Amino acid sequence: MGHANGSDRGERTAGVQVVEVVGVGASGLESLDSTGLRLVEEAEVVIGGERHLAMLESRPDRRLVPWPSPLLPQLHALFDEVGSVRVVVLASGDPLVSGIGSTLVRELGAEAVRIHPAVSSVALAQARMGWATEESEVVTLVGRDVDRLRRDLAPRARLVVLTSGEDAPARVAALLVEEGYAVSRLTVLGDLGSQTESRVDGVAASWAGGPAPRLHLVCVECQAHPSRSARSLVPGLEDTAYANDGQLTKRVVRAAALAHLAPQPGDVMWDLGAGAGSVGVEFARHHPRNEVHAVERNPDRAERVRRNARALGVPSLHVVESSSLEALASLPRPDAVFVGGGATRDLLDACWSALAPGGRLVVHGVTVETEALLHEVRGRLGGSMSRIAVEDLDPIGSLHGWKPARSIVQWSVEKAVQQTDSEMSS
C-alpha cells in the first residue's frame, strides 16, 4: 500500500516509503503543527518509544510499533518488516539533536528520511538561561561516558549538557568538583515546554538537587578555582597531564608532531606504539568527531592510555593491544598516522598504503638505524625531515644549567589528493 504519488512522499531504497520523523515537544501532540498532526493521523505505522506511543489511541488501521532493543542490530529488519507503507517515527524535540533522526539518516540514508523538528530542548534551555547560541556550547552525554565533559571545561564556558538518567546532574557536579570547577553554577531544566516544566539551581560543590526528571538537561556556568590552570585544546599539554612510565612524547615534540598531523573535524587517526597515548589523546581533543585508534602491545601501557584518555575528556579513544603491524588490518582507513616508535620499512609501507588521499604521516625516531630508514623512505615518498633537540633548565647545585634531551628525528609527509577524471583531462 502507500501513496502512488512518489513526489509527494518520496521513495526509499528497497521500495520502502520515506520515513517521516516527527519531533514532539514535552507537551505532547498539542505541540505539533498541522503538518505533523496530518502525518501522524495518516500514518499506517507509527514507531516510537513507550512514552510517545502512549500519546496515541489504538486504531485498526494504524500499527503502533515500539523500538526494538537493542536498537541498531534490529533496525534494518524492523523497516524491512514494515514494508512500503506510510511510516512515521515519533521523536523528542529536534530529532537531529542527539536523537533518533541522526541514527536513521546514518543507517537508512538521507534520501530515505524526512525530518520535521519541534523546538529543541537546547533552544528552550538557551532561552530560559538567556544564553546566546554563539556564546554557549552543547555537549551531549546521551549514550556517552560522563568523562566526555572534561574536554569542554574552561573558565567562563557556558555548557548546555544533554544527559540521561535521574542521577546525571549529580555525576556532572561530582566531575566538576574533581576538575577544580567546584564553584560552577548548575541549572537543571526538566520537561521543557510542558506544563510541568521545572528548574533547580545550585553549585557543584554543594549540589543536592535530588533525582532529575526523566526529560532534563543541565546548564553549567563554568568557574574554575583560581589555583587551577585550565587545559587548552591547543596541542602541547603539560607532560604532567599524562600518567606515564617514561614512554611519553614530550610537550614540545608532541606539539610539533600534531602540527604536521593537522587534525581536522571528523578525521580518523592511528597512534601506533602509543606509549602513554599523548599524541592520540590530543588529536582526539581537537574535535569531538575525531576518531583515534591507539595501538600499544604492552598491556600496562595500553591500560594507561585508556586512563589518560578518560582523564582528558576523550573516553571514546579506541585502544588496541597488539603489535602495530598486526593491528592495521582491523582499523578503519586513516586520515593521519603517527608512529612514535618501532618504525620498520614494512610498517611504514603499510601505513602509506592505508593512508587516505590528503592524509598525513608523521614518524619519530631516536636511533641512527631509524634515522637511516627515514632517509630511505623519504627518498621514495618525499616529505620533510627535522631534528628536534630540546634543552630544559635544570638545577646544578644552587645554580642552573641546560640539560639536553635525546634528539628526535621527525619525518612528515602528506599523501597527494587523487585527481578527478575532469582534472586529469584538463
65-111 pLDDT per residue, tens: 999 999 999 999 999 888 888 999 999 999 998 889 999 999 999 99
Choose from 25-29, 35-39, 334-338, 341-345 the range with maximum mean pLDDT: 334-338
Q: Which of 85, 119, 153 is the last residue of a domain?
A: 119
The answer to whether residue 297 is domain-embedded is: yes
CA dist., res. 201 & res. 195, Å (int) = 19
Q: What is the pLDDT of residue 419?
A: 54
**Residues 322, 314 contacting (CB under 8 angstroms):** no
Q: Residue 153 is part of a domain; what is its CATH number?
A: 3.30.950.10
Q: Which of 5-14, 275-284, 295-304, 388-397 has the lowest mean pLDDT?
A: 5-14
Same domain for 66 and 162: no
State the amino acid at position 73 in one-letter form. P
The answer to whether residue 316 is domain-embedded is: yes
User: What is the helix (H) or strand (E) element at residue 91, kind and residue range?
Assistant: strand 87-92
Residue found under cell 520502502: 16
The answer to whether residue 128 is domain-embedded is: yes
User: What is the helix (H) or strand (E) element at residue 217, kind and residue range?
Assistant: strand 216-221
Q: Residue 48 is part of a domain; what is its CATH number?
A: 3.40.1010.10
pLDDT at 59 over 70: yes
Three-state DSSP class for 173?
helix
DSSP 319: E
Q: How confident is the model at residue 6 (pLDDT cuts 50, 70, 90)?
A: very low
Q: What is the pLDDT of residue 345?
A: 96
Same domain for 356 and 249: yes
All three cell numbers of 307: 586512563
Same domain for 207 and 160: yes
pTM score, whole prediction: 0.86
All three cell numbers of 76: 534494518
pLDDT at 340 over 50: yes
Q: What's the mean pLDDT in 27-31?
A: 87
Same domain for 108 and 134: no
Residue found under cell 582534472: 423
Same domain for 264 and 198: no
Same domain for 153 and 247: no
Same domain for 297 and 403: yes
The answer to whether residue 131 is domain-embedded is: yes
Q: What is the pLDDT of residue 47?
A: 96
**Residues 374, 404 contacting (CB under 8 angstroms):** no
Higher pLDDT, 174 or 98: 174
Same domain for 217 and 243: no
Q: How confident is the model at residue 4 (pLDDT cuts 50, 70, 90)?
A: very low
Same domain for 61 and 42: yes
The answer to whether residue 306 is domain-embedded is: yes
Q: Which of 94, 119, 144 is the last residue of a domain?
A: 119
The answer to whether residue 13 is domain-embedded is: yes
CA dist., res. 362 & res. 348, Å (int) = 10
Q: How confident is the model at residue 3 (pLDDT cuts 50, 70, 90)?
A: very low
The answer to whether residue 293 is domain-embedded is: yes
The answer to whether residue 232 is domain-embedded is: no
Q: What is the pLDDT of residue 418?
A: 73
Round the average pLDDT of the chain to a whole number and report it. Answer: 91
**Span 181-228, pLDDT tens digits:** 999 999 999 999 989 999 999 999 999 878 999 889 999 999 998 877
pLDDT at 9 over 80: no
Q: What's the mean pLDDT in 147-165?
A: 95
Residue 221: closest CA among 150, 174, 161, 170: 161
Task: Give me the domain span that covers residue 106.
Answer: 6-119
Same domain for 291 and 389: yes
Q: Which of 61, 90, 119 is the last residue of a domain?
A: 119
Same domain for 296 and 201: no
Q: What's the mean pLDDT in 145-168?
A: 95
Residue 390: closest CA among 376, 405, 402: 405
Q: Residue 392 is part of a domain; what is its CATH number?
A: 3.40.50.150
Total count of domains within the chain: 3
Same domain for 388 and 254: yes
